Amino acid sequence: MSDTHHHHKCPPRSKSTLFDLEEKLRMGSKRLTGGRLKLLRFLNTQDHPLTIKEIFSAMDSGEMDLVTVYRSMSMLEGMGLVKRYDFGDAVARFELTGEGQHDHHHHLICIRCDTVVEIEECFPPDLENAISRQNGFTAVTHKLEFFGVCPKCQ
At its nearest, how many Å lie between a copy of itself and the CB of residue 22? 29
Residue 45 or 135 with smaller CB distance to a copy of itself: 135
Instruction: Find out whether 85 and 145 touch, Cβ atoms under 8 Å.
Output: yes
CA dist 50 and 117 (Å) reads 13
Instruction: Find out whether 30 and 79 touch, Cβ atoms under 8 Å.
Output: yes
Rg from Cα positions in the chain: 17
* 35 lies in the binding site for DNA (CB under 7 A): yes
Residue 91 or 130 with smaller CB distance to DNA: 91
Angle between helices 18-27 and 34-43 (to 10 degrees): 140
Burial class (CB in 10 A: 0-12, 13-18, 19+), 69: buried
Residue 64 or 109 with smaller CB distance to DNA: 64
Contacts of 119 by beta carbon, 8 Å cutoff, 6+ apart: 105, 106, 107, 108, 146
* 88 lies in the binding site for a copy of itself (CB under 8 A): yes
Q: What x/- string results for residues 88 through 127 when contact with DNA is judged by CB under 7 A?
A: --xxx-----------------------------------
Residue 148: contacted member of a copy of itself, DNA, none (CB under 5 to 8 Å, by partner type): a copy of itself
* 66 lies in the binding site for a copy of itself (CB under 8 A): no
Which residues in this chain contact a copy of itself in the complex, by CB under 8 A? Answer: 2-3, 5, 7, 84, 86, 88, 90, 92, 108, 110, 117, 119, 121, 123-124, 126-128, 130-151, 154
